Amino acid sequence: MTEMPEHSVALDAKIPKGPLAEKWTQHKNNIRLVNPANKRLIDVIVVGTGLAGSSAAASLAEMGYNVKAFCFQDSPRRAHSIAAQGGINAAKNYQNDGDSVYRLFYDTIKGGDYRSREANVHRLAEVSTNIIDQCVAQGVPFARDYGGMLDNRSFGGVQVSRTFYAKGQTGQQLLLGAYGALSRQISKGKVTMYNRHELMDVVTVDGKARGIIARNLVTGEVERHGAHAVVLCSGGYGNVFFLSTNAMGSNVSAAWKAHRRGAYMANPSYTQIHPTCIPVSGEYQSKLTLMSESLRNDGRIWVPKHDTDVKALRNGTMKPTDIAEDRRDYYLERRYPAFGNLVPRDVASRAAKERCDAGFGVNQAGEAVYLDYASAIDRYGRTEAKVQGIPAPSLEKIRELGEAAVRAKYGNLFQMYEQITDDNPYKTPMRIYPAVHYTMGGLWVDYNLQTTVPGLYACGEANFSDHGANRLGASALMQGLADGYFVLPYTIGDYLADDIRTGEISTDTPEFAEAEKGVQERISQLLNNTGKTPVDDFHRRLGRIMWNQCGMSRNAEGLKQAIADIQALRAEFEKDVCVPGRSDRYNPELDKAGRVSDLIELGELMCKDALERNESCGGHFREEYRTPDGEALRDDEGHAHVSAWAYTGVPSEAVHHKEELKFENVELKTRSYK
Amino acid sequence: MDFTLKIWRQEGPQDEGRMESYPVKGISDEMSFLEMMDVLNDQLIREGKDPVAFDHDCREGICGMCSMFINGEAHGPNRKTTTCQLHMRSFKDGETIYIEPWRASAFPVVKDLAVDRSAFDRIIQAGGYVSVNSTGNPLDGNAIPIPKHDADEAFNAATCIGCGACVATCKNASAMLFASAKVSQLALLPQGQPERMSRVQRMVDQMDKEGFGNCTNTGACEVECPKGISLDNIARMNRDYLKSQVTEE
């Protein structure tokens, strides 16, 4: 264990006292309220309009606060939550399979490999059921069964069916619900919406967050916006790897600017590598596409058992459907019989890497495994034949019925796969490989979702709070909406109660002027640089360093090298980046340059964080710390803490603060899905 | 593969635009259309020229941000495919490809191929939601059973991504398919009933205010819609709109 620097302080998460199941209710009863007349005197800025941002902005406006909401896209409906496919968890127990708030809490703590806060996770499980009710009331068209009741499916790492869904477009439907709520408040004038605006800096006055500097991406104008509190719902930073399932515009800049202004970054190296994505196809690839985890409900994952078959597949003399059952290695079912194909994401990803590293990858690059629907099509086909009363169905008929059943459940995902790969997944198994998908790390927040800067809050993927070292499937949507609809609107009142006499926040102050000047200087520096290399070039190189050294498996030597490489890349970027165009026009290259510059700094901190954590837990797998059979080896004595980093100017020299995690309700165990 | 690209260039909303020609070489058939555009922009930047501005974000066909009129068709030649999901294998080596922005007076050009679609936001703001507060105490999600067929139909209408291909394709630049998808989703569900008549009125009024044209039932929107939103929704909206004129709410 590394020694803590002298000036490091213990972080107070402000977890309420009392029994776990009563903490949130008691806290809500005890925190201060702002009366309706006073709410009208208070302004709140919300940055980002995904599930967390839209729901927070709408809820705050409904309560009476004046909200200014910002997004960099051309409409709040485009935020990347829209792309979430599989579903949202809630402890409704509609399937009567023994689910409960406690079980959802327990699964999430265990799934996060015992690196999250008990109190936060329990609150998340408690409000999960409200989310479903809320969304149904908004007209979100969740899947229903023939009796008209809400349907569920299973996701990885759990043994109940608690995932609510809308085909493969659950994120879209939930976001459009929240966007509807936001739109309603915009129409009432309670939310002022700023589309195509980017946060350029957070402004603090007397140590409190009192506004932001934003840039209108169409006119290039740099604007000052004051408020009594600022809420960052700006999403995750998976794009630090260049290739990821994130949208092209997803970035860390809002969180990183906050970090530079004093907000700590927590566990930045905790990255989720999703096991089922479409493999990389070529040099110029710009992003990776996820195939929903829900596909593991019915699909079976395998590679060939024998090298000869691998060779034949790669040189095209054999098709996967030619390989006999007994020559296939269903490695997840073999290694993890209890959970099979539904092990958590980190476990499934590492298992795929293990097989591919051993030489069994099924594409040219040796980096793909099969996700096979043949047996599901057969099973559904036989059931459907019985339902339809077909006495002795032919194999062809069974196939036809089975394909129809699979199409009804996963149609849009299969279509997407075919569009990208030009392969028909109904006839041949899909090829998949792990890819960066989500970042569990983020801005450190206390129980009230407040960062280390008073008045600055973070919700959704932008904070670090609920998923520990590994997020379970269908939990991101749950957390985003829990934070935005049901947590932040209450907890922020306790802070704002002191501001009822403050009056409007003036932006005509030295603090705003200083921040704006810094922004203007950076813009002209980037535009006037005499470099030759486009921004994407640096981004791609950063991604390669991160994926190789800070990806699915990490080691001390590689991480140290990565820090040096990233520092060199950063120096080169400053010297040689070429940003064309002007600052007073729509200029996407300029926007991108600012984002990549922040991602480079973040990458360095991520490597530092991964280097400091001398254990393997969840998505963080250090090669030096593993069990004899290759599973992650945690160190609960030395590392049952949150690492929160304070900015000093050089990311890898950030000051390390710790929040010790106390487990009073669950026993720390070795996570096993065998 | 090599291509000649003829691309609409326009500095800003008030400037005059023109078609410009650019060669691109060494394109792989596995590249997406936008990745091909990335290659072009990389080339332009290295030559010290102004890269082509275009909207894009998720690159998986769901955010609705990409918007190009390719060879005279919204989102290019393939059915039920957004530009970001279009791959170069759909084009012939050596082909000349024409790329233009969405053209509609309600969608002014921001720069080059990027347009301003905030009119769509304002149509939704006019009533495309259920007026329910999020801090209230709603009924249990299963308290009102919804027949599977209705839930599925509502879902199909709700899959609209708001890209604007329907408007760009329509000779009248009508937004009927877009507006009717939201009207239908909520009209098909019990949650949407209380505001059903006022919603359709307000949304149609807003559509007119924004300067979108009328629907003459040619059905081009349905053909070009990357999500296959059905023309039935327009019929449903027309019915509700008519009804709203004679009922009080």
A63 contacts in B (CB within 8 Å)? Answer: 135
Active site annotation includes A296: no
- Once rounded to an integer, what is the mean pLDDT over residues A172-188? 98
- A406 in any annotated domain: yes
For residue B190, the chain A residues in CB contact (below 8 A) are none
Query: Quick one: average pLDDT of A307-335?
Result: 96
| DSSP category for residue A343 | S
Residue whose entry in the numeric block shows the structure tokens 């008691």: A26
DSSP reduced 3-state for A45:
strand
Cβ atoms of A624 and A635 closer than 8 Å? no
Instruction: Calculate ∠ Cα B198-B199-B203, nearest 5°.
Output: 120
Whether A232 is covered by a domain: the verdict is no
Residues A101-143 have pLDDT tens digits of 999 999 999 999 999 999 999 999 999 999 999 999 999 999 9
pLDDT band at A671 (very low <50, low <70, confident <90, very high): confident
pLDDT score recorded for residue B136:
63
A173 touches chain B (CB under 8 A): yes
SS3 content of chain A, % helix, strand, coil (to 5): 45, 15, 40
Q: Taking CB atoms and an 8 Å cutoff, what residues of chain A touch B58? A: 78, 80, 82-83, 247-248
d(CA A586, CA A279): 34
- Cross-chain CB nearest to B192 (options A139, A176, A183): A139
So what's the pLDDT on residue B138?
Answer: 79
Give the closest of A137, A142, A416 to B61, CB-based. A416
The token pair at A301 is: 């994952």
Give the minimum alpha-carbon distance from A274 to chain B in angstroms, rounded to a whole number: 16
Nearest to A123 by CA among A543, A451, A582, A490: A490
The DSSP result for A148-182, as a single string, is SPBP-B--TT-SS--EE-BTB-HHHHHHHHHHHHH
Name residues 133-162 of chain A within 8 A of B (Cβ): 133-139, 141-150
Please determine whether the domains at B3-110 and B118-246 fall in the same fold group of CATH: no
Residue spans per domain, chain B? 3-110, 118-246
> Which residue blocks in B115-164 are alpha helix, DSSP H?
118-125, 148-158
Chain A residues 571-590 with a CB less than 8 Å from chain B? 578, 580-581, 585-589
A49, pLDDT greater than 60: yes
Comparing CB atoms, the residue among A58, A180, A245 nearest residue B128 is: A180
What's the whole-number mean pLDDT along residues A148-166? 92
Contacting residues of B for A422, CB less than 8 Å apart: 87, 89
Count: domains in chain A: 2
- Could you read off the pLDDT of B205-244 as tens digits, one per residue? 999 999 999 999 999 999 999 999 999 999 999 999 999 9
Is the CB of A77 inside 8 Å of chain B's CB atoms? yes
Q: Which of A67, A187, A251 to mutate to test the interface with B (most CBs of B within 10 A)?
A: A187
pLDDT in tens, B8-59: 999 999 999 999 999 999 999 999 999 999 999 999 999 999 999 999 999 9
Res B249 pLDDT > 90: no
Residues of chain B in contact with residue A578, where contact means CB-CB under 8 angstroms, are 45-46
Which pLDDT score is estimated for B66? Answer: 97
Which class in CATH covers the domain with range B118-246? mainly alpha
From chain A, the residues in CB contact with B151 under 8 A are 141-144, 148
Residue A571 lies in a domain: yes
Q: To the nearest whole number, what is the mean pLDDT of chain A?
A: 95
Torsion (CA) A276, A280, A281, A285 in degrees, nearest 10: 120
- φ and ψ at residue A666, rounded to 5 degrees: -120, 150
Reported confidence tier of residue A9, pLDDT bands at 50, 70, 90: low
pLDDT at residue A409, rounded to an integer: 85
Q: Same structural domain for residues A425 and A519? A: no
> Is there a domain that residue A638 lies in?
yes
pLDDT above 70 for A261: yes
Q: Measure the CA–CA gap between B85 and B95, rounded to whole angstroms.
A: 19
Question: Is the CB of residue A184 less than 8 Å away from at least one CB of chain B?
Answer: yes
B147·A148 Cβ contact <8 A? yes
Distance from C-alpha of A505 to C-alpha of B94, rounded to nearest angstrom = 60
Burial bucket for residue B173 (CB in 10 Å: 0-12, 13-18, 19+): buried
Q: Are A502 and A228 in contact (CB under 8 A)?
A: yes
Cα angle B245, A139, A176 (rounded to 5 degrees) comes to: 100
User: Can you give the pLDDT at residue A1?
Assistant: 39
Q: What is the mean pLDDT of chain B?
A: 96
Domain that holds residue A332: 294-429
User: For A119, which DSSP code?
Assistant: H
**Mean pLDDT computed over A656-663:** 96
Is CATH 3.10.20.30 the right assignment for the domain spanning B3-110? yes
Is A189 in the B-facing interface, judged by CB distances under 8 Å?
no
Chain A residues near residue B142 by CB distance under 8 angstroms: 94, 149-150
- Domain assignment present for residue A548? The answer is yes
Amino acid at A93: N
Interface test with A, best of B134, B195, B203, B227 (most A CBs within 10 A): B134
Judge: B141–A136 Cβ closer than 8 Å, yes or no: yes
As a whole number of angstroms, the distance between CA A185 and CA A175 comes to 15
Domain boundary among A429, A461, A493: A429
Active-site residue, from A328, A345, A570, A634: A345
Closest-CA residue to B73 (of B224, B227, B231, B226): B224
Q: Taking CB atoms and an 8 Å limit, are B148 and A80 in contact across chains?
A: no
Q: What is the band of A155 on the pLDDT scale with cuts at 50, 70, 90?
A: confident
Residue A427's pLDDT is: 95
| Nearest CA distance, B217 vs chain A (angstrom) | 27
Q: Which candidate from A139, A186, A282 shows the least CB-CB separation from B31?
A: A282
| Residue range A584-609: mean pLDDT, rounded | 97
Residue A5 reports pLDDT greater than 50: no
Q: Is the pLDDT of residue A552 over 60?
A: yes
| Chain A CB contacts of B41 below 8 Å | 534, 589
* Per-residue pLDDT at A244: 97
Indicate which CATH number applies to the domain containing A600.
1.20.58.100
Distance CA A240, CA A236 (A): 10
**A7-16, A401-410, A457-466, A573-582: least confidently modelled range:** A7-16
Q: Mapped to the 3 state alphabet, what secondary structure does A367-388 carry?
A: CCEEEECHHHHHHHHHHHHHHC
Q: Which two tokens stand for residue A263?
A: 């907000």
- A-B contacts (CB, under 8 Å): 224
pLDDT digits (tens, 9 = 90+) for A484-513: 999 999 999 999 999 999 999 999 999 999
Closest in B49, B50, B135 to A59, CB measured: B135
Residues A523, A425, single domain; the answer is no
Q: How far is A554 from chain B (nearest CA, A)?
A: 28
Phi/psi at B214 (5° precision): -90, 165
